[in-house]
Amino acid sequence: GIAACIFDLDGVIVDTAVYHFKAWKRLANELGFNFTAAQNEKLKGVSRVRSLELILEWGGIQKSAAEQQELATRKNEWYVDMVHHMTPEEILPGAKELLESLRAAGIKTALGSASKNARVILEKVDILSLFDVVVDGNMVAASKPDPEVFLKGAEALGVAPERCVVFEDAIAGVEAGKAGGMKVVGIGEKDVLHEADLVVSGLHEIDLQTLTNLYNS
Ligand code: B16
Ligand code: MG
């Protein structure tokens, strides 16, 4: 049965995509082109460096490696400023309740995020203590759909991948969980996250029984 749950951050625990959008849009506008909400959707779960490459491509602009480094840093400074104003009210519905019931049931918890800012975000929304392990963008070499971030989480928890359930909102993240041999609950739409074992609209739909059922189907 289930022994651990591994959570993605953006789109699962909190909606940091709105802050990523504001910061990338500001950068794009300074460079002289627009950046849309639809484009921002495509950057969910994508690393900072890769996100910038895509944005420059969409804007039809080329920059040297050194300039890209500077642009990514500039964007991150704006993003971090916004993140520092986050409050516990921004935790998505059901996330804290689920983490608490997992702890009460003796099921281990980890964060598995592409973000290098994951830890400070968890601190700001005051939920860090509910995670036994945090694996973030500073600790992994390969991006999702590579399973590295989730396998590192399972390893740090001392739990076999087959006994882990991953919660993910991005297609690449769902693929990463499946590639790692884990059960995956998709947060979003069924037709988009069709590789997931179960798809729900948010963590408020999940309880211990739902998770147990994943192993009996
Ligand atoms: P940072 P997740 C991802 O978070 C975001 O969805 C993605 O938009 C962002 O570019 C990436 O983190 C890196 O974030 O710039 O803070 O290192 O969904 O993997 O928790
Ligand atoms: Mg995500």
Give the pLDDT of residue 137: 95
Could you give the ipTM of this predicted complex?
0.94
What whole-number percentage of the chain has pLDDT above 90? 98
Please give the helix or strand (H or E) that residue 7 lies within, else none.
Answer: strand 4-7
Nearest to 31 by CA among 63, 79, 7, 9: 63
Q: Give residue-wise pLDDT tens across range 8-65.
A: 999 999 999 999 999 999 999 999 999 999 999 999 989 999 999 999 999 999 999 9
Q: Give residue-wise pLDDT tens across range 60-103.
A: 999 999 999 999 999 999 999 999 999 999 999 999 999 999 99
Cβ neighbours of 124 (radius 10 Å): 18
Give the pLDDT of residue 209: 96
Pair of tokens at residue 163: 């006994």
Give the pLDDT of residue 200: 98
CA of 113 to the centre of ligand 1 (A): 7
Question: How far is the C-alpha of 139 from the C-alpha of 135, rounded, in Å?
Answer: 6
Annotated catalytic residue, options 10, 136, 169, 197: 10
Please report which confidence band the pLDDT of residue 128 belongs to, taking 50, 70 and 90 as the band edges: very high
Decide if 10 is catalytic. yes
Find where tokens 């963590």 sit: 203
Q: Are the CB atoms for 160 and 182 separated by under 8 Å?
A: no
- Ligand 1 shell residues, CB under 6 Å: 8-11, 20, 43-48, 51, 76, 113-117, 137
Q: Which atom of ligand 1 is nearest to the CA of 50?
A: 10
